[in-house]
A = this chain, B = another copy of it.
Amino acid sequence: MRKDLGNLGAVYPMPVLIVAAYDENGVPCAMNAAWGMICGYHEIALFIDEEHKTTQNIRATKAFTVSLADQDHVAEADYLGIATGNKMPDKFAKSGLTATKSEKVNAPIIEEFPVCMECELAEIVETENVHAVIGRIINTNVDEKVLNENGKVEISKLNALIFDQFQAGYYVTGAQAGQAWRDGRKLLGE
């Protein structure tokens, strides 16, 4: 039996993205955003609105980073989603996280998170239905501990958080269930 739940946003999984940028004085701020995704081979879209301190910082500096939050830093990641940069100038400092200036863009890399996309602001899309900050990914900087012997990010080492919008849970990844561009071939008749 199926049931109607109304006009509920129901994408799962969602990422736990930590978006970081400097203000005009070089003070880092960061926020937790689940509404973001790759939107091109070297582009990322973040659906974050104008009110955020981080959005204002991105408009000022034209750069930002996007890190993947991991299991060892659930409290820090969640705090960055609760605390408001506009009301707390020391928001980032209170997180206890470490910001190091990117060598590629004018934005902070947060050392504790294992994967960090260093982005230049490509554009801010504003339409009737969408407000999106679009970044051009200049470089992805990773902690070597999450790479396998071939230099690729290994999901079992990454321990990235997953956000559940239905009940506001954070999860980690379980077992591998298949392989893309392989498992469907039998239905092609190949």
Interface, chain A (partner B; CB < 8 A) = 1-15, 17, 34-45, 47, 66, 68, 71, 74-83, 94-96, 109, 111, 115, 117, 122-123, 125, 127-130, 132, 134, 136-144, 147, 151-155, 158, 160-189
Number of this chain's copies in the assembly equals 2
A169-B155 contact, Cβ under 8 Å, with A79-B187, A129-B136, A130-B43: yes
- Could you name 12 residue pairs across A and B whose Cβ atoms are closer than 8 Å? A2-B109, A5-B142, A7-B42, A7-B137, A11-B36, A13-B160, A45-B45, A130-B132, A155-B171, A161-B178, A169-B180, A171-B177
In whole angstroms, what is the CA distance A38 to B7 when docked? 12
A164-B155 contact, Cβ under 8 Å, with A38-B14, A177-B71, A181-B78: yes
- Taking a contact as CB atoms under 8 Å apart, the answer to whether A169 and B178 are in contact is yes
CB A170 to nearest CB in B, in angstroms, measures 4
A129-B139 contact, Cβ under 8 Å, with A35-B38, A164-B155: no
Contacts of A175 in B (CB 8 A): 171-172, 174
Residue in B9, B42, B140 whose beta carbon sits within 8 Å of that of A137 in the complex: B9
Contacts of A165 in B (CB 8 A): 38
CB A4 to nearest CB in B, in angstroms, measures 5
In whole angstroms, what is the CA distance A46 to B37 when docked? 10
Contacts of A163 in B (CB 8 A): 180
- Taking a contact as CB atoms under 8 Å apart, the answer to whether B180 and A81 are in contact is yes
Residue in B14, B82, B109 whose beta carbon sits within 8 Å of that of A37 in the complex: B14
A44-B11 contact, Cβ under 8 Å, with A123-B128, A140-B5: yes
